[in-house]
Structure 1
Amino acid sequence: MPLSESLDFWHDAVLAQLVGMDISAEGGTYAATMRADHLGDLGITTVECDPGVVHRTPRFIARGDGREVWAAVLTRGLAQVEQDGRATELRPGDVAFLETIRPSRTRFPQRFQLKIFAVPRSRLGLSEADLRQVTARPMRPEGGLAALLSPFMSRLADTSDSYSRSAAEQLAGSAVDLLAAAAAQQLGTAPARLPGADRVLLLRIHAFIRWHLADPDLTPEAIARAHHISVRYVHRLFEGQGTTVSRWIRELRLRECRRELTRTTTRSLGVGGVGRRWGFTSTAQFGRAFRREYGTSPTEWLQHARGGRSIEKEA
């Protein structure tokens, strides 16, 4: 496929296999692969794609019949998801439900792999009101049911073509039962009441900061403008959390830089390149902030980490 036609081709492929979406990417070209299969009455699609933004708009929703709900397993990269009034970030291993008949927007800031299970909505046994409560809420594989669900679903997607028909139907039934149990668990642990207005606003600001973390112009003023509030109000919200907005942004950036430094795929960027990728305007600024936070320079920390003597601390 000529590169100049790759994004249009991918739009058509996604529409044919999944649902219609607006897909945008820098440069207008797109390197992506798709693997599609069925396991019993579950549709399974594995996509591996370049960074971009996927927007499920009302004009596309009219084309779908809404018979399926998606259970998505992120196995590589990051996904920043908005649906049903929630904004969340998925990391590798996370599982999340996504609705196909309501608008959604997902930003993938780096190349990613996503395994999508199309589940007949009737099989989950959830009301429409309950479905609205579980969409765009990550199930993290840190313990409990989610720790079982994530590797099971991921492995199932990779081996879906290796089972007999009867085994496939049994495995599909087990997968749906696990997903239904996970949804029920999410509903059972949902807060009994909505938090106060300040808490809701702070959560929205947290999500906004995470999504714009790489922008060097992310400032209290920019945050205030985006949320139609005063800068003073922004500072007051973070004071209630025992921190400042600038400190919170800096800690998140440093945490991402620390992770990035030890990834073999990004080592060619160098220390300065990693810092600039996450919003630091210069190598010197990044180095000073890193040393203040961790007591060592990025270069020294990287040498220890690569030598198996990591001195990192949790931020």
Structure 2
Amino acid sequence: MATAIGSHEEIRRPPAGATSERARVLTTRSVPPEQSLEYWHDAVLDTLVGMDIAAEGDTYDATLRTDRLGGLRITTVEADPGRVHRTPRLIARGDGREIFVAVQSTGRARVEQDGRDAELGTGDIAFFETLRPFRTAFPDRFRLKIFAVPRPPLGLSEADVRRLTGRAIHPHDGLPALLGPLLERLADTSASYTSPTAERLAESVVELVAATAADRLGADPADLPGAEGVLLLRIRTYISWHLSDPALTPAVIARAHGISVRYLHRLFQAEDTTVCQWIRDRRLRECRRELAARPAGPVSLGQVARRWGFTGAAGFGKAFRSSFGLSPTDWLDRVRTEGPPC
């Protein structure tokens, strides 16, 4: 007989089982078995969103781990079979600021939202809108990795999101074949990245999620040119991961992707830029962000420059002035006086 949890009015916050802000672990094994279902309901509410939860039997074995990757919140859930229902009464003010992008790591799931339902198998991806009700049933023990992605960078209207929910995205080819394994890996390794790298990875994830969503929605082929679009996204992600390497050159990038340097240049030419210009712009962007975040006081421009792949302060200063019309020192003085640019 199924036992449902979620009808009690007072929410008891479960104690966090984590040792740092970066990783938070909640497990039903931390409470007596007879309290496990109620504890799990509170853990899900505290970490994700409010849901009614039903399971077979009176006890429940489940664990969730929450990590941060830049501006993304990642929750890995491993649990016994069960059913969840996000009902209208549980949708609170402030919900909907994020879209949930989930990867079915192990087991199966049946998802329902916006009048559609689909079955997720291992590796499949699904979008969930937290502003509207949904149901998910897990017939077996499962592991699910959920990325809470802020809505604005995705550029999706409410109508767009309604067309994405309640569907299984299979990672067999195209953009999903790139997105699925990336999300799987990052969910397992997010705590190992330092802040600058984590921010770049989070941006890459958001870009790839947005491109995958656009692909599902039937975007203009000119915006997502098939296999070349997938390859270009992969190359941009590779560059973002290796920005700090001063030896990052078109030849190195081409070799890493099994293509010719000439073909690499052609890919970026179609974007009205060059490989080297794109790398330089990304490096300058990261340098600006780091400089703007520094507290008042002396700053070693050489250290900042080398951290992002420039060979020294002189080359960095020349590139900075060429792009922004000010030296790094003058720009930083203006930021500290007037505030960071919009």
Q: If the TM-score is normalised by the length of the shorter chain, which range does it land in?
A: 0.5 to 0.7
Match of 2:57 among 27, 36, 43: 27
Give the match for residue 298 of structure 2: none
Give the match for residue 166 of structure 1: 196
5+ residue gaps, structure 2, are 1-30, 220-342
Which letter maps to 2:173?
G
Determine whether 1:97 maps to 2:120. Answer: no
Question: Are the structure 2 counterparts of residues 20 and 34 from structure 1 closer, same or farther at C-alpha, using a change threshold of 3 Å?
Answer: same
Which letter maps to 2:102?
A
- More helix per residue: 1
Give the match for residue 107 of structure 1: 137
RMSD of the alignment, in Å? 1.3
5+ residue gaps, structure 1, are 190-315
Of 60-69 and 47-56, more deviation after overlay is shown by: 60-69
Give the match for residue 181 of structure 1: 211
- Give deviations 1:229-286, integer Å, cap 9, x for gaps: xxxxxxxxxxxxxxxxxxxxxxxxxxxxxxxxxxxxxxxxxxxxxxxxxxxxxxxxxx
**Distance of 1:5 and 1:149 partners within structure 2:** 37
Identity of matched residues, %: 64
Match of 1:8 among 23, 31, 38: 38
- Kept in 1, the 8 Å contact 2:115–2:166? The answer is no
- Give deviations 1:5-61, integer Å, cap 9, x for gaps: 000000111111111100000112110011101111100000000000000001111
Determine whether 1:52 maps to 2:82. Answer: yes
Structure of greater Rg: 2
| Aligned counterparts, 1:51-200, within 5 A | 51-62=81-92, 64-188=94-218
Following TM superposition, by how much is the alpha carbon of 1:162 offset from its aligned partner in structure 2, in angstroms?
0.4
| Aligned counterparts, 1:140-289, within 5 A | 140-188=170-218
Secondary structure of the residue aligned to 1:11 is helix
Following TM superposition, by how much is the alpha carbon of 1:156 offset from its aligned partner in structure 2, in angstroms?
0.4
- Kept in 2, the 8 Å contact 1:20–1:63? The answer is no
How high is the TM-score relative to the length of structure 2? 0.54
Following TM superposition, by how much is the alpha carbon of 1:65 offset from its aligned partner in structure 2, in angstroms?
2.3
- Kept in 2, the 8 Å contact 1:6–1:31? The answer is yes
- Kept in 2, the 8 Å contact 1:19–1:64? The answer is no
Secondary structure of the residue aligned to 2:204 is helix
